[in-house]
Structure 1
Amino acid sequence: MSVVAEKADLSLKYTAHYNEVKEGLLEDSADILNAPRNQAFRDFVSQGIPTRKFENYKYTNLQPAFIPEYSFMHRREPVEVDLNNAFRCDVPQLDTHLAYIFNGWFYDRGSQVGNLPEGVILESIEKIAHEKPELLAKYATLAKTGDDPLVALNTAFAKDGYFLYVPKNTVLEKPIQLINFLQAEKDAFVTQRNFIYVEEGANVQVISCDHTLNLNTYLNNSVTEIFVGPNASFEFYTLQNQHNSTTNLNSVFISQSRDSKATTHYATLHGGLIRNNLKYILDGENAEANLFGMAFIDRKQHVDNFTQVVHAKPHCQSNQFYKNVLDDEATGAFAGRIHVVRDAQKTNAFQRNNNLLLTDKATMQTKPQLIIDADDVKCSHGATVGQIDEEALFYLRARGIEESKARLMMMNAFAYEVVQRINIEPLRNRINELVDKRLKGEVARCHDCAYNCDC
């Protein structure tokens, strides 16, 4: 990367592109998607692409990711691969409602969503915006374009993604599984916009899997807004397994009503640069939020988990627990923010981040934060960064276990606590298997993929 490119205001390139395609974006999209588009673009221009000078991005340098000359995926393109054959990283014994998203666009072909319970909708957000815009009445109300330039850029370019609606008191016996593929003939910039609405008393589990099908360079900017109604239960599992030339910018916003329970669980097994933005708003009494995550990275990969939990009402509880294993020259960051607003009394909020560095060149930045404006609360946070305990390693070796196996046992034990919080047993077993292979260095991709995702 040249010095000139480093110093250039990269946002000018994206400003020019938006002005070039704006008319087409507005003509092709429904009013509900167009309404915030121009303001979002103005918010992006005023903020620019995040640099390390942005407090919320101080540990992640996004500038290089925006330099390549990408082709933009503004239109639905024919899928040139058989998705059912290209993706064979299945989870044994996992029975799901399956849907595909290809370069940010929802595809019916190959999807298996026809037997969903009555009233449940899993569809293209573009189609819903045209046919049932009333279901998107809260679109762009959680993801504030003035707060984050990545969200602003997504909202300005948003065309499609998935839409999930679960009506009142509906319980899905099988999880929803969303397979997000990236494949293009040239380096590609992908914008994906998703929306989930879980009504009162409903119960649903969602599994999202991110994969690349060839070795081109990708920048994927995804935003998901999730509304969890009163007394509803929602679980969201994300499996990230993309090659080293991929930048995955993933922003998820969740609003919870009274007596609801929402859980997110991120498993990062491979990826070039990954930034997970996650914001919860506990907007009803007795709501419970659980945020779990784990990352296993090596080479020069980078993963940054940025979480925010806003306790906006009394008698709510949140738990954050993230673990990372970093090898080679990998870098990582975790910033967890808990904000207890005034009058949100009887709050229980806990946060923990533990990190294991396998080499002297691996680095980790961790920044737990508490902002407490109420006086009757229980809040705690903690973080650790260290290497394998040599005394414990010696203990295992003294009992006849060779060093490589002893190290693997200790790393698996380190990861176990987070893996076991996955409530879907077949998925938990599969991730246990993938984590074991990842720690052994055997795979940087699922061993059953038809495409070699490692670069």
Structure 2
Amino acid sequence: MASEKQYTDLYRECRNQIFAHSADVMNAVRDAAFADFERLGFPTRKVERYKYTSMDKLFEPDYGLNINRIQVPVDPYKAFRCDVPNMSTSLYFIVNDEFRAALQPKENLPEGITVTSLSEYAKEHPEFVAEHYAKLAKTDEDGITALNTMLAQDGLLIHVEKNVVVDRTVQIINILRSDVDLMVNRRVLIVMEQGANAKFLFCDHAADDHAFLATQVIEAYVGQNASLELYCMEETHYKNTRVSNVYVEQQRDSRFNHNVITLHNGVTRNRLDVQLKGEGAECWCNGCVIADKSQHVDNNTLIDHQVSHCTSHELYKYVLDDKATGAFAGRVLVRHDAQKTVSEEVNQNLCATKTARMYTQPMLEIYADDVKCSHGSTVGQLNDAALFYMRQRGISEKEARLLLEFAFIGEVIDKITLEPLRDRLHHLVEKRFRGELTKCEGCKLCK
């Protein structure tokens, strides 16, 4: 297809420039990823995990790429404010797909945690990065992952060493900034060693009124008895397309908490794959989506129980208005040796208009006989009886609808363990339902 040909032609023509502006470890897997992309192409709707989003159409426009790594002029500290009140964070910036090394946080993190450029770290510690990079994100199984691997030149490296506990939340601000329509390809590698404990907040923002296409691949290793909390919040605009694949591997007695929140977007496609490889591992995966106009949000998850005595919980909720479309497909795989598995999967959706559309497909695939697993989904509209009850007590119809929607989505937000972030999201969600612009206070770039 033409949409694929433009990327294969680009790679052939610009291969030397791509290699020159990246690390040898990333380059080592680039040609193999290109061969996989040529073979696989963009997933079509015939591929089960992509049946609700047409990927080739998303990549069809001719976006620019910053292959020669020209630094985009922006000072995030002066131009952007994304503070969560009452939450002390260590703040880092990624502009498009480039880690801004000069913008180091003022607050010091404890010894034993590294937050830096993936490309630069790979040059200094090639063996460590080679051991983890492109191992969970297999390019021979997914065309989007292959495309990202063959084009990504930089990204973020997070390494938390053995038994290091990071009390301060690490906040990563991903800023999309360009004077033309732009495609960015970002990589994130997170390695949590045995007993490590840390929390990360990723915030995605579009700073210019241009069309952006952002692909992101996150690989996260959660070692024995380690704990990783990962919060991903998107507040972009209707011209933004985001395709994010998250791959997680958990070892014995580890804990993984993932929360994805979509407040403003254009087209969003999130994939989450979690492998529970050690007994006693636990994961909580939560999603919150608010969409209106013609926005589209597709969340696709796979929780792979490979060993016994593991636990997984999923809760995804959508509120769709106008002509928005949503999709959720969640598969829980319980393998033969995964006895004593406990798994719960819930997807609940609210269509505020008759023109909104929701597609939901919760799935259980169980090959063990001593498990406790459940799954379910609902799609409905606002409760007429509840609306009538509130109207009878002097509450306007608009306010009554807002209160019901807010209460519906609040169950997901209440599961966030960071209290300041939880309070901030309650505030942002209320503003979102009221139709107000949810840009951060003091943000000059979003005007």
TM-score range, shorter chain: over 0.9
Does 2:27 correspond to 1:34?
yes
8 Å CA contact 1:73–1:191 kept in 2: the answer is: no
TM superposition score normalised by structure 2: 0.97
Asked if 1 retains the 8 angstrom alpha-carbon contact of 2:109 and 2:168, the reply is no
CA deviation map 1:255-278 (0-9, x unaligned)? 000000001001100100000010
The answer for the alignment partner of 1:5 in structure 2 is none
Matched position secondary structure for 1:10: helix
State the AA in 1 paired with 2:195.
G
The one-letter code of the counterpart of 1:66 is: F
Q: Which one of 177, 187, 190 corresponds to residue 183 of structure 1?
A: 177
| Aligned match for 2:89, one of 89, 96, 120 | 96
TM-superposed deviation, 1:194: 0.7
Q: Is the 8 A contact 1:143 1:151 kept in 2?
A: yes
Structure 2 partner of 1:4: none
What CA RMSD, in Å, does the superposition of the two structures yield over aligned residues?
1.3
Deviation at 1:395, TM superposition (A): 1.4
Q: Residue 435 of structure 2 aligns with which residue?
A: 441
**TM-score calculated relative to the size of structure 1:** 0.96
Cα distance in 2 between the residues matched to 1:113 and 1:315: 42
Q: Per-residue displacement from partner, 1:312-347 (whole Å, max 9, x unpaired)? A: 110000000000001110001000010011111000
Give SS of 2:415's match.
coil
Write the distance in 1 (CA, Å) between the matches of 2:3 and 2:262. 28
What's the CA shift for 1:27?
3.4
Deviation at 1:47, TM superposition (A): 1.2
The aligned residue for residue 171 of structure 1 is 165
Amino acid at match of 1:369: M
Partner of 2:154: 160
1:149-176 CA-partner distances (Å, limit 9, x unpaired): 1100011112111100001111111011
Give the Cα–Cα distance (whole angstroms) in 2 for the partners of residues 445 and 56 of structure 1: 32
Partner of 1:3 in structure 2? Answer: none
Letter in 2 for 1:429: D
Q: Counterpart amino acid of 2:80?
A: F
Alignment of 1:213-362 (within 5 A): 213-362=207-356
**2:127 alignment partner, one of 129, 134, 159:** 134
> Partner of 2:70 in structure 1?
77
The Cα of 1:42 is off from its aligned counterpart by 1.0
Structure-1 residue corresponding to 2:389:
395
Does 2:115 align with 1:122? yes
SS at match of 1:52: coil
Deviation at 1:65, TM superposition (A): 2.0
Provide the C-alpha distance between the structure 2 equivalents of 1:37 and 1:148, rounded to a whole number of angstroms. 14
User: Deviation per CA, 1:44-103, whole angstroms, max 9, x where unpaired?
Assistant: 111112222222111112233212221112243323122112221321122111100011
Counterpart pick for 1:195 among 184, 189, 199? 189
Task: For structure 1, list consecutive stretches of 5 or more residues without a partner in the other structure.
Answer: 1-7
331-340 or 59-68, larger mean C-alpha shift: 59-68
In structure 2, stretches of 5+ residues that fail to align are none
Partner of 2:4: 11
CA contact (8 A) 1:239 1:267 kept: yes
Aligned to 2:415: 421
Correspondence for 2:102? 109
Task: Name the CA distance, whole Å, in 2 between partners of 1:422 and 1:134.
Answer: 36
Candidates 373, 382, 404, aligned match of 2:367:
373
Deviations 1:91-149 (A, max 9, x none): 11221111000111100233306611112110000001100122211111100111111
What CA distance in whole angstroms lies between the structure 2 residues aligned with 1:48 and 1:9?
11
* Matched AA of 1:117: P
CA displacement, residues 338-358 of structure 1 (integer Å, 9 cap, x when unaligned):
001111100001100000111
The answer to which of 365-374 and 395-404 deviates more is 395-404
C-alpha distance in 1, partners of 2:348/2:79? 35
Aligned-residue offset at 1:447: 5.0
- Determine the C-alpha separation between the residues in 2 that align with 1:386 and 1:447: 34
Which of these residues, 333, 347, 357, is aligned with residue 363 of structure 1? 357
